Chain A
């Protein structure tokens, strides 16, 4: 990143030198103006109106209640107001978003919905007004903790924009993605070197189905910028865990003309004398929703199995954490196991409209079970499928 920034700095200076400062400033302003005009033209294609949507963050790890986020999205000509008035008060636990995160999540949704060739600069954002009352989960005040604002609340807001506009621009939106970055954090000291290590681990989720196809399987949330961690990297870089399983979960994508992407599961076994773990997962209780007749995706989960035990149990059951999916500082020991299950994406459109060949392929690949294929898609096994 440092190298690329340095190269960018040099290129900008070269450009200023070749065309002169005045022209450089003029062209820069015109680039911003072009981006603004093009974004306004895209917004103008959305029918004027006020569109409502509501979703929640399940809990903050320190209390039992959920945090409601309402959205009133007003499209008026070539401008948009995204109004979060009525959002829940900021949480004690780390699920709060600062204003910039909330605004970015709204922008991100519209960048998904509009022409991807529009230059990304200040002009793109000018048509938007984001109203996020101070002291709420979408615009918290100091000293509210914010670690999950980016990883959890941000994807929720982006999905909510899609949900709000589903009826207005059905060909452009997607159903809800798994909606959690599934943060699973661990750290300790390498028993061989004594060196401290820590890892903020993300997992992929199923993405929502959309008008042009099924949702992607097991990719980090739609407005994330991180990749899945391969097993080899996971095992070789950190001395904490062995990966016993890393797989897609059948039937986890919401049914639909275009089904939701599949969620997945990772099973880990502690390979060091002890490791300290924390978690900040969502969509463990409330399903990723489908749109336009599509079904909901499956929820996720987080379990632990201590060495010598046979049953998987939640962290609340085993360690007494307030939340089964949001906690910090739990110590696991060699031989203990963790199972992280990631949510699937919501489905898009009526499942009865799904291509039967696609259903047959899903059954063949194990993406959906025969039972689900019959119940949700009216599928019947034939001699060729």
Chain B
């Protein structure tokens, strides 16, 4: 899925994935921008960062990186 929808930058590419949640293993995948636990479907960008969705992926580039840089 290309990140061309909404306000997401068109230069980034990634895909929607479904988190595998096991019964015994703790699930600990969190959005790279907001920090929220990703309960199921999530967006993984081209370099492996996970996001709640397109909006948070876009804000990561337009809000987060200009302020704090890549961590």
Q: Footprint of B on A, CB under 8 Å? A: 74, 81, 85, 99, 103, 129-134, 139, 141-142
- Contact residue among A81, A133, A142 (Cβ-Cβ distance under 8 Å from B35): A133
Contact between A139 and B59 (Cβ–Cβ < 8 Å)? no
Q: Does B36 lie at the interface of the complex (its beta carbon under 8 Å from any beta carbon of A)?
A: yes
Contact between A134 and B63 (Cβ–Cβ < 8 Å)? no
CA distance A134 to B34 in the complex (A): 8
Q: Which residues of A lie under 8 Å from residue B34 when comparing CB positions?
A: 99, 129-132
The contact string, 1 if C-beta is below 8 Å from chain A, for chain B 7-47, is 00000000000000000001010100111110000000000
CA distance A39 to B67 in the complex (A): 27
Q: Report, as a range, how many residues of chain B touch the other chain.
A: 10 to 19
- Which residue of chain B lies nearest to A100 when distances are taken between CB atoms in the complex? B36
CA distance A246 to B30 in the complex (A): 46
Q: Which residues of A lie under 8 Å from residue B33 when comparing CB positions?
A: 129, 131
Contact between A129 and B35 (Cβ–Cβ < 8 Å)? no
CA distance A74 to B59 in the complex (A): 13
Contact between A81 and B59 (Cβ–Cβ < 8 Å)? yes
Contact between A81 and B37 (Cβ–Cβ < 8 Å)? no
The contact string, 1 if C-beta is below 8 Å from chain A, for chain B 55-71, is 11001000110011000
CA distance A130 to B56 in the complex (A): 10
Contact between A139 and B28 (Cβ–Cβ < 8 Å)? no
Contact between B26 and A134 (Cβ–Cβ < 8 Å)? no
Contact between B35 and A139 (Cβ–Cβ < 8 Å)? yes
CA distance A139 to B34 in the complex (A): 10
CA distance A131 to B32 in the complex (A): 10
Q: Which residues of B lie under 8 Å from residue A74 when comparing CB positions?
A: 63
- List 8 interface pairs A-B (beta carbons < 8 Å), by A numbering: A74-B63, A81-B59, A99-B35, A129-B56, A131-B34, A131-B35, A132-B36, A139-B36
CA distance A141 to B34 in the complex (A): 14
CA distance A81 to B30 in the complex (A): 18
- Contact residue among B35, B64, B67, B68 (Cβ-Cβ distance under 8 Å from A134): B35
CA distance A103 to B30 in the complex (A): 15
- Of the candidates A81, A130, A131, the one having the most CB atoms from chain B within 10 angstroms of its own CB is A131
Contact between A142 and B28 (Cβ–Cβ < 8 Å)? yes
- Which residue of chain B lies nearest to A72 when distances are taken between CB atoms in the complex? B67
Given contacts A81-B59, A99-B35, A139-B36, 18 further A-B contacts (CB under 8 A): A81-B63, A85-B68, A99-B34, A99-B37, A129-B33, A129-B34, A129-B56, A130-B36, A131-B33, A132-B34, A132-B35, A132-B36, A133-B35, A134-B30, A134-B35, A139-B35, A141-B28, A142-B28
CA distance A131 to B36 in the complex (A): 8
Contact between A99 and B59 (Cβ–Cβ < 8 Å)? no
Query: What is the CB-to-nearest-CB distance from A254 to chain B, in angstroms, rounded to a whole number?
Result: 34
- Which residue of chain A lies nearest to B26 when distances are taken between CB atoms in the complex? A142
CA distance A132 to B52 in the complex (A): 13
Query: What is the CB-to-nearest-CB distance from B60 to chain A, in angstroms, rounded to a whole number?
Result: 10
- Which residue of chain B lies nearest to A133 when distances are taken between CB atoms in the complex? B35
Q: Which A-B residue pairs are the 5 nearest by beta carbons?
A: A134-B35, A139-B35, A132-B35, A134-B30, A99-B36
CA distance A103 to B36 in the complex (A): 10
- Which residue of chain A lies nearest to B59 when distances are taken between CB atoms in the complex? A129
CA distance A168 to B26 in the complex (A): 43
Q: Which residues of A lie under 8 Å from residue B59 when comparing CB positions?
A: 81, 129
Q: Which residues of B lie under 8 Å from residue A81 when comparing CB positions?
A: 59, 63
CA distance A142 to B29 in the complex (A): 12
